[in-house]
Each structure stands twice: as C-alpha cells, then as structure tokens.
Structure 1
Amino acid sequence: MDPSHRIVPANAPKSASIQDTANSLGLHDALRYGPRSLAAENKTRGGLRERLESWDATQDNLKLTMQRNVFGLHMPMRTLMERKIVSRNPHMPALAQSNPHLDILMGRDETLDCSDFMMPASELAQPMDVHAEMEKKLHM
C-alpha cells in the first residue's frame, strides 16, 4: 500500500535506452537494428492501456490511504485481512462459484460486469467427477 492520494494511475516513467541494441563499443548498432528513433521508443511505453490496467489498484490504494488517514492504521489492515480471509475458498473445487463476500468488501457489489451474466462455455460444462477433483485438492 503506497500512501498516496492519487486518483488516476501515474504515467510510466519515460526513458530511452540503447542497452538492447548496443554494440561492443556501447553505441547503437544501426546496421543491425536500423535507425534509432527516440520518439518511437517513448511512444511504445505508457499510454492508455497501462492506465486502464492499473486503474483498480490505484482506486483501491486511494480508499485504503483515506481509511488510514481517517481511522488510523488498523482500518486498512483490517480490510486487507478480511479480504484475504474471504478470498480463501475451501468449498468444493469442482463447482464454479462466485465470491459475493469479496465483491462486497471490494466495493463491486453494486456493479455489473460481463462475467456476471454471460458465462463462457467452459464454465457451463462443469466436471462431473467430483472425487477426482477432491483428490487433486488434497494433493495440492
């Protein structure tokens, strides 16, 4: 947990390096790797994809930081412990199950996602050999 009040994810640090394309003298090998373009190297890193991938983690970090500032250090620790306890699922592994308790603790109980009402065909075809699934669970 990084104690920051950041609402949106930070941009990835932009840096250009020739370590992958350097020759024995430490210079960019243009004959082997082509001309070097710093604009192309910076454009490939960062952007919208990385922001969207780290959006949930940033929002969760903000909520935990605000809990820490308002209630003290015990509140985010308690929240994280409750999430860990609830995410452990000792039920039958052969049956596909959702975890509404974890959804409530994460604040996702009032949102709909595609996975909530559109199940892929792999989840619809549940294994019928419960004994084999239980044996796999014992050996893990």
Structure 2
Amino acid sequence: MVRWLVLTTWHPLFIKSFGLPSVKPKPGGVESLDIHEGHYGVPDVMTYGLSSSRPNVASSHPLEQSEKMYTKNKELMHMTMLRNLQGLHAPLRLTMELRAAEKVGRLPFLPSSNFMRDVLSGRDEEIGFEDFLNTAEFREQMGQPHAVLEKQLGIL
C-alpha cells in the first residue's frame, strides 16, 4: 500500500490540477518565423505560395493574441471539463478520433472541407466568416500540383 502511494505521487497525471486552465492571454510575440527557401536561398513561391511576414511580426492590440487563441482555449477548456466529468479516457478518445479525421488520404494540392473534424468538434453547427470568405477553392495561391506532390513525397 505504501509503495503504491510513493509511485503515484510523482506521476505527472496526479500532479495536474483538476481545475480549469487559465485563458488569460500570455504576452508574447512571434512563436516562429518560417520562410521556406529553395535550393538557391530564394523563397520557393511556386511550391509554398506567396506569404507575408507582417502578420507574424507583432500584434497591434492586446486582445488580438486572445482572439487568435480563442478556439484553442475553448478546445482546451472543453477537454479539461470532459476529463473532470467523464475521466481521462474521454479526451484521449476524442483526440484520437480527431487525429484520425485529420489524416484523410487526399492529394496534398486538393482542398479539404474537413467536415469529419468539424462534426467531432461541434463546429458543423456554427457559421463563421471563414465558412464563406476565402474558402480553399477560391484562393489565388494554387501551387503546381506536381511540385506540391513531389515535395510531400520527398522527391523535390
């Protein structure tokens, strides 16, 4: 009995609090600034598309970071409440199903609606700006299908 208590006290599963996580925005700027370069040190526009570094540099308002992290915070809060109510298996099972839904086998240059992921996360019942503005099929940054496929396969 004593041995069991000693083994479980240091385990990270037991150290975590069952309280809700903080949604207070953390001050900070850029997490990472990635510029994909080709063989000659020039950005490969045909494979990765046009990109702007301005949105990655700094936020203009204190609430901007909070708004960017809204869905992530909402999902974290949902998983924590699910763990507290139903046990550890529920968020693990839901995360496993979400990862399986994201690995749907499509060619990398074809747009995906991610409908299965939206159903699992409850997002299919909401209508937001991203549903009708700048959808994948109307974007101007279409890469060359052969170059994108070669990049995914590691040939390029």
> Shorter chain as normaliser: what TM range?
0.5 to 0.7
Percent sequence identity over aligned pairs: 28
8 Å CA contact retained: 1:2, 1:61: no
How far has the Cα of 1:111 moved from its partner? 1.2
Question: Given the two structures, how large is their TM-score scaled by the length of structure 1?
Answer: 0.59
Between Structure 1 and Structure 2, whose CA radius of gyration is higher?
A: 1
Deviations 1:21-77 (A, max 9, x none): xxxxxxxxxxxxxxxxxxxxxxx9x83223222222221111111111111100001
How far has the Cα of 1:122 moved from its partner? 6.1
Q: 2:62, 2:145 → 1: CA distance? A: 45
**Runs of 5+ consecutive residues of structure 1 not aligned to the other structure:** 14-43
Residue 123 of structure 1 corresponds to 139
Residue 80 of structure 1 corresponds to 95
Q: Following TM superposition, where does structure 1 have runs of at least 4 consecutive aligned residues deviating by more than 6 angstroms?
A: none
Question: Given the two structures, how large is their TM-score scaled by the length of structure 2?
Answer: 0.54
Q: 2:26, 2:151 → 1: CA distance? A: 41
What is the count of residue pairs matched by the alignment? 107
8 Å CA contact retained: 2:18, 2:84: no
Q: 1:48, 1:133 → 2: CA distance? A: 36
Map of 1:1-140 to 2, 5 A cutoff?
Answer: 3-6=18-21, 9-12=23-26, 47-119=62-134, 123=139, 126=142, 130-139=145-154
